[in-house]
Structure 1
Amino acid sequence: MSIVVFSSSSKDTCYIAFSLADNQEVNSWLGSVFGDQAVPQFEVNTRTVDVLYQLARSSEARCNDTALLIEDLKQKASEYQAEGAHLQDVLLQGVGLSCASLSKPAADYLSALVDNAIVLGVRDTSLCSFMPAVNNLTNELLEAEKSNRRLDRDLRALRKRLGATLVLRSNLQEAINKTVKSQSVESAKAEERLLSMGFVTRKTKEFSNTRERAEAQLVSRNMDKSITHQAIVQLSQEVTALKQEIIPLKKKLEPYMDLSPSPSLAQVKIEEAKRELAAIDSQFEMKVDFK
């Protein structure tokens, strides 16, 4: 396809024309689109020329379709006008009615009937045309009411779910707030425990070091283990046990206190008791001294 570019000497406007039969088609399309105005400047290349040609063909096709539709509408309008004129002649000649002879209420009713026919989209105002249209509208109304009822049920269900969701959200938010508050309290307690644990750990380490140094000093000084706190506690327990052993011995001697003493036998018993008491007292005093 050969391309010829024409440049206007007045406004330097580029016109694109195609060779052979396309030249007249594109030029006529550009002239019809812009009319008396000059064609705007554009870059001339193969793509723009092809697009312009396709636009011209599409515009021409749409114009033809529009023209056919206009002709069809004009034809229908003329048919309707002819039919209306025929009906007017029938009414005038057969019944003797005309638009001028109708009363105002009748004219209003007739206008309302026509308006209803236009709204319903029927071809004429006969009952056979009105009834299907009214039935269709009734069916559409019933379907709309049915859809509205279904939507109302869905809306009530959604509102119920929304209420339950809001309650659940409120409960969850309250639980979250309580959990956050509890976590903050527990975090403070845990931090306090960690501080206390650190303090106790340091003190334990200090006491362990002190004990180890004291034990090392005692070992270096050759301290007798019998005077340690544990040994003294053990001696105290043994002394308490001996005191408990003395109590039944004293009770055993009580019956003999009331007997008339036999000088020789009493002397022997007294000496034995004295020796036993002396031994116990010496043992007790020894243990007390150790304590």
Structure 2
Amino acid sequence: MDEKIKKVNSWLNAVCGDQPVPQFEVNTRTVDVLYQLALSSEARCRDTELLLEDLNQTAAEYQADGAHYQDVLLQGVGLSCASLTPTCTDYFSALVDNAMALGIRDTSLGNYLPAVNKLTNELLEVEKSNRRLERDLQALGNRLGSTLVLRGNLQEDINKTIKTQAAESAKAEERLLNMDFVTTKAKELSHRRERAEAQLLSRNMDKSLNHQAIEQLSQEVSAVKQEILPLKKKLEPYMDLCPNPSLAQVKILEAKRELASLDSKLEMDMESK
């Protein structure tokens, strides 16, 4: 732990330089994180130093090659940078720029053509990739349009569903209120019926006088009346005969006896109820 803290402090001092090191809470997690950052920073610094050394070495090689080519031009052809015309200098600069753009060291035609062909092939691949991306982009645009239309339809359906649900909820609430009212009313009527029955029982009311018994008695009276109808039909032919006091009196007596019998039977039935 002490070694890590020393390493972290040394790294922070090196990073901050003349600036004061920020205060931080010293605990195991903080020290571990800063220690890992210090190791990563030192590793990157070493890699950067190696890269700089390689670039410096490459630059030195280029400078040596340039000096060698200058000596060759000066000794073999008799040309020097001072003796070149501005147009020639521009040509050489363009040649150097092209070589750097193509990434070649030798400016011979045999190296230029493969490099140009390579760049041309890369350009064709990029154009092909761009066309493919344009087609994909167009397809995505069409799909996006369809998706937006579908989204609009879904949103409209959702709004309709919400409105319908609100209306159904209002109806359901109204039905619940009505059901509560009907339930309360039914309980009230049931209590009233029980109280009425209790009052009738307390007054020793005859069960034969209740609605059901009276309705049954009415049905029986209707049945007796139906039985009387045939007898009345039998009397109808005698109603048109010439009056005969003796026969009429006999018939009247028979009818009276029969009616008296039916009346007594009806009274017995009513009393039995």
TM-score where L is the length of structure 1 = 0.59
CA distance in 2, matches of 1:240, 1:213: 33
> What's the counterpart of residue 273 of structure 1?
255
Deviation at 1:223, TM superposition (A): 0.8
Q: Are residues 63 and 240 of structure 1, via their aligned partners in 2, closer, same or farther at CA, if it must alter by over 3 Å?
A: closer
2:180 aligned with 1:194, yes or no?
no
Q: Are residues 198 and 112 of structure 1, via their aligned partners in 2, closer, same or farther at CA, if it must alter by over 3 Å?
A: same
2:32 aligned with 1:74, yes or no?
no
> What's the counterpart of residue 159 of structure 2?
177
Segments of structure 2 that go 5 or more residues without pairing to the other structure are 1-13, 22-40
CA distance in 1, matches of 2:109, 2:210: 129
2:142 aligned with 1:156, yes or no?
no
CA distance in 2, matches of 1:278, 1:142: 129
Q: Are residues 39 and 226 of structure 1, via their aligned partners in 2, closer, same or farther at CA, if it must alter by over 3 Å?
A: closer
- Aligned counterpart in structure 2 of residue 142 of structure 1, from 124, 131, 135: 124
Q: Are residues 73 and 109 of structure 1, via their aligned partners in 2, closer, same or farther at CA, if it must alter by over 3 Å?
A: closer
Deviation at 1:219, TM superposition (A): 1.1
SS in 2 for 1:222: coil
SS in 1 for 2:204: coil
- Equivalences for 1:103-142 in 2 at 5 Å? 112-142=94-124
Q: Are residues 245 and 118 of structure 1, via their aligned partners in 2, closer, same or farther at CA, if it must alter by over 3 Å?
A: same
**Preserved contact between residue 239 and residue 287 of structure 1 (Cα < 8 Å):** no
> What's the counterpart of residue 208 of structure 2?
226
CA distance in 2, matches of 1:88, 1:140: 39
TM-score where L is the length of structure 2 = 0.62
> What's the counterpart of residue 240 of structure 1?
222
Identity %: 60
> What's the counterpart of residue 27 of structure 2?
none
Deviation at 1:285, TM superposition (A): 8.8
Deviations along 1:53-102, whole A, 9 cap, x unmatched?
xx99x989976874664354233234235436646887789xxxx843x9
CA distance in 2, matches of 1:267, 1:89: 182
SS in 1 for 2:105: coil
Is 214-223 or 255-264 further displaced after alignment?
255-264
Q: Are residues 217 and 40 of structure 1, via their aligned partners in 2, closer, same or farther at CA, if it must alter by over 3 Å?
A: closer
CA distance in 1, matches of 2:48, 2:219: 125
SS in 2 for 1:223: coil
CA distance in 2, matches of 1:177, 1:167: 15
CA distance in 1, matches of 2:129, 2:160: 45
Deviations along 1:144-179, whole A, 9 cap, x unmatched?
223223323433343344334333433333333333
CA distance in 2, matches of 1:152, 1:92: 56
- Equivalences for 1:44-63 in 2 at 5 Å? none
> What's the counterpart of residue 199 of structure 2?
217
